[in-house]
């Protein structure tokens, strides 16, 4: 089974829908699954799910998808650092997280204020605030925890 097939199966299990893409990104099962995984603090899976949509789409949304994937990747780093703060590799994940936050902010900010039912500006604010907490501490403080993990909801309003 290919990675794409595994991801499609994963999305079917998550969403309970047939993975049948429509023309509307906001209702696409992979897009919805990204936010569900994000809100369940499954950032690595969120990254994988959206990567499949991004790699299999030829749209003007490339940087939008890339920014969301980078944001999820940054939170993977913070989560691993939180879970294993003294581990040789995971203890050094704050700097790469900051770099991914910067890239995500750059890629997403051009799509604000709203894009595909997402309040892009609110998400960029969360990314910036999280990045600044890390950089203001000279890369010593990880502000992420399971209790403070940000949630991202899609708006029912079309845009």
Q: Are 62 and 115 in contact (CB under 8 A)?
A: no
Looking at the domain assignment, is residue 100 inside a domain? Answer: yes
Domain count, the chain: 1
* CATH at residue 59: 1.10.3450.10
Looking at the domain assignment, is residue 89 inside a domain? Answer: yes
| 21-58 confidence digits (pLDDT tens) | 556 788 888 899 999 999 999 999 999 999 888 877 77
pLDDT at 13: 64
Say whether 155 sits in a helix, a strand or coil. coil
* Torsion sign over Cα 99, 80, 153, 147: negative
| 53-83 confidence digits (pLDDT tens) | 887 777 889 999 999 999 999 999 999 999 9
Looking at the domain assignment, is residue 96 inside a domain? Answer: yes
CA-CA distance, 68 to 106, in Å (whole number)? 11
Q: What number of residues does the chain have?
A: 159
Looking at the domain assignment, is residue 146 inside a domain? Answer: no
pTM of the model: 0.86
pLDDT at 10: 64
Beta-carbon contacts of residue 144 (< 8 Å; ≥ 6 apart) = 75, 78, 79, 81, 82, 130
The 8-class DSSP code of residue 112 comes to -
């Amino acid at each position: 089974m290919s990675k794409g097939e595994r991801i499609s199966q994963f999305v079917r299990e998550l969403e309970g829908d047939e993975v049948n893409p429509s023309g509307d990104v906001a209702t696409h099962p992979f897009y919805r699954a990204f936010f569900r995984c994000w809100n369940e603090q499954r950032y690595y899976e969120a990254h994988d799910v959206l990567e499949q949509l991004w790699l299999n789409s030829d749209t003007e949304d490339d940087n939008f998808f890339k920014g969301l994937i980078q944001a999820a990747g940054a939170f993977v780093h913070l989560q691993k650092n939180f879970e294993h703060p003294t581990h040789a590799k995971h203890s050094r994940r704050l700097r790469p997280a900051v770099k991914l936050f910067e890239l995500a902010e750059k890629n997403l900010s051009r799509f604000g204020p709203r894009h595909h039912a997402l309040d892009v500006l609110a998400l960029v604010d969360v990314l910036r605030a999280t990045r600044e907490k890390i950089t203001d501490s000279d890369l010593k403080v990880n502000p992420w925890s399971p209790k403070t993990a940000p949630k991202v909801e899609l708006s029912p309003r079309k845009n």
